[in-house]
Amino acid sequence: MKFTEKVNLIIGLPKSLIFNIRAFGLKKGIKMPLLLGYRCKYRGVRKGCIDINENYKFGHVKIGINYGPFDKGIKENTIVAFGEGGRLSFRGNCNISSGSVINVSTGICIFGKRFAANSKFLLSCEKEIIFGDDILFGWSCTVIDGDGHSIIHAENGEILNIPQSIEIDSHVWVAAESTILKGAYIPKNSVIGYGSIVSRKFNIDNCIIAGVPAKVVAENRDWIR
């Protein structure tokens, strides 16, 4: 961890303590399993909105502390927001860099073990987003399982664009500037190419998926973290 990131962590400790007590209650909260950077802002935090694996340690989850490559997030605020019923679940260590937005309005977002996202990561969950183990996101990536606004039938008012679950299987690298949209499934051991838009399900493990819209461009591939 860089010196500036250590300073970010230390200055943010009072904010982290308040956040943890609100999210987990006093007994668990004072152990501070989740750490926030001092530029992190949050809203809607309540007891029960976050679940962390019982084998947690101090700083099990870090949000808004690391600045990412080239210090891209060094001057950026980080946002963590919950709507009524929105929940986060962490199954292992998680590190989300500064300048990110984590918005869980009504759904549940599950993070597997060893999740990492570089600066300016944007996540919006209305239904369900599931990340497997060993996931890596480059900077300025987006994962969103809804459309933000409703599209309705002009005659009967029926909502036509309901949110759809997203699942990213284990050991997936999503390169910078990529977007994962509702209904997407990314199979294990895959790589998402830089700037890709993934909006459907893929079923081939060990592949490279790239383009706008994304498609399989290479098979029998793997990657090293």
pLDDT at 68: 82
- Of the given ranges (23-27, 55-59, 116-120, 169-173), which has the lowest mean pLDDT? 55-59
- What value does the mean pLDDT of the chain take? 95
CATH 2.160.10.10 assigned to domain 150-225? The reply is yes
Percent over 70 (pLDDT), the chain = 100
| Backbone phi, psi, residue 130, to 5° | -125, 125
Number of H helices, E strands in the chain: 3, 22
Alpha-carbon gap, residue 29 to 50, rounded angstroms: 11
What is the residue type of 48?
G
What pLDDT is attached to residue 54? 81
Domain ranges of the chain: 1-125, 150-225
Mean pLDDT over 105-121 rounds to 96
pLDDT in tens, 144-188: 999 988 899 999 989 998 999 999 999 999 999 999 999 999 999
pLDDT of residue 60: 95
H-run or E-run covering 82:
strand 78-82
Of 160, 166, 120, residue with least CA distance to 140:
120
Residue 213 pLDDT: 97
At 26, the pLDDT band (50, 70, 90 cuts) reads very high
pTM (2 decimals)? 0.94
Give residue 129's pLDDT: 98
Beta bridge partners of 66: none
Assess contact for 50 and 87: CB atoms under 8 A. yes
* Region label for 138, one of left (φ > 0), alpha (ψ between -120 and 50) or beta (otherwise): beta
pLDDT tens, residue by residue, 31-82: 999 999 999 999 999 999 999 988 888 999 999 999 987 788 888 999 999 9
> Which residues, in sequence order, are bridge partners of residue 97?
none
- The b-or-e profile of 196-211 (16+ CB within 10 A means b, else e) is bbbeeebeeebbbbbe
